[in-house]
Amino acid sequence: GDSVTQMEGPVTLSEEAFLTINCTYTATGYPSLFWYVQYPGEGLQLLLKATKADDKGSNKGFEATYRKETTSFHLEKGSVQVSDSAVYFCALSGGLTGGFKTIFGAGTRLFVKA
Amino acid sequence: DGGITQSPKYLFRKEGQNVTLSCEQNLNHDAMYWYRQDPGQGLRLIYYSQIVNDFQKGDIAEGYSVSREKKESFPLTVTSAQKNPTAFYLCASSRTGGDSQPQHFGDGTRLSIL
């Protein structure tokens, strides 16, 4: 079935460092891909999405490109801030197996030090 | 503003007791979901519903029950059969048509055992 694998955390960075969180997926068909962010004690919020191959999703300085050839959707940010400390989830939906349901990765916790 | 409201934010359950978590949305979404999140882990799907008066089991439905009598509401009951109910519970909703739709989340209910 459909699945999402993302790098284990925690990831600890200093402020203004470059961030990459790796995400790969397995799915049949043409799924849409998402990154969600969860701040402590809250629900998840959509950070960005991409609906077809080579699409780039971007929001708040974060970017991710839908790479069908490598089945990847890595999250990047050029300069992180302390306020970016959170848990980041890669997800997909619209694959032939899962349909409209969303399949989430296990999450990657990011700590940014001042 | 539209959104999802979960209540209560914190809930305590005694042994042998059923408790019900509330989830209400005013986004006019057809689909609603319940997830369980354990510390340091990803989201596991409990139940989901695509339409009023219909719902399906997710990956960990045992010990839980739901109803979907109104489009706006999708309450979750944690029954006494759920032997390890302590967790963070998240409700979400989404559209189901067209391009794969992102999910919108509430702020969660944290359930603990007395």
Q: How many CB atoms lie within 10 A of CB A109?
A: 15
d(CA A104, CA B101): 14
Specify the pLDDT at position A90: 97
Specify the pLDDT at position B5: 96
For B47-76, how does the pLDDT look when each residue is reduced to its tens digit (9 = 90+)? 999 999 999 999 999 999 999 999 999 999
Specify the pLDDT at position B2: 76
d(CA A5, CA A24): 5
- The angle formed by the CA atoms of residues A41, A43 and A46, to the nearest 5 degrees, is 135
Specify the pLDDT at position B97: 66
Cα distance from B84 to chain A (closest Cα, Å)? 20
Supply φ then ψ for residue A83, to 5 degrees: -70, -10
d(CA B106, CA B113): 22
Give chain B as a 3 state SS string.
CCCEEEECCEEEECCCCCEEEEEEECCCCCEEEEEEECCCCCEEEEEEEEECCEEEECCCCCCEEECCCECCECCEEECCCCCCCCEEEEEEEECCCCCCCCCEECCCEEEEEC
Supply φ then ψ for residue A84, to 5 degrees: -85, -5
- The angle formed by the CA atoms of residues B78, B79 and B83, to the nearest 5 degrees, is 95
d(CA A35, CA A55): 14
Residues belonging to chain B with any Cβ–Cβ distance to chain A shorter than 8 Å: 4, 6, 31, 33, 40-43, 45, 48, 50, 90, 92, 94, 96, 99-108
Specify the pLDDT at position B68: 98
pLDDT higher than 60, residue B99: no
Once rounded to an integer, what is the mean pLDDT over residues B98-107?
83
For B31-50, how does the pLDDT look when each residue is reduced to its tens digit (9 = 90+)? 999 999 998 788 999 999 99
Among chain A residues, the shortest Cα distance to B47 is held by: A101
Average pLDDT score, chain B:
92
Specify the pLDDT at position B86: 94
Specify the pLDDT at position B98: 57
d(CA B85, CA B49): 21
d(CA A47, CA B17): 38
Specify the pLDDT at position B113: 87
Taking chain A (114 residues) in runs of 10, the rounded mean pLDDT of each run is: 91 98 92 94 94 95 97 97 97 75 92 97
Cα distance from B83 to chain A (closest Cα, Å)? 23
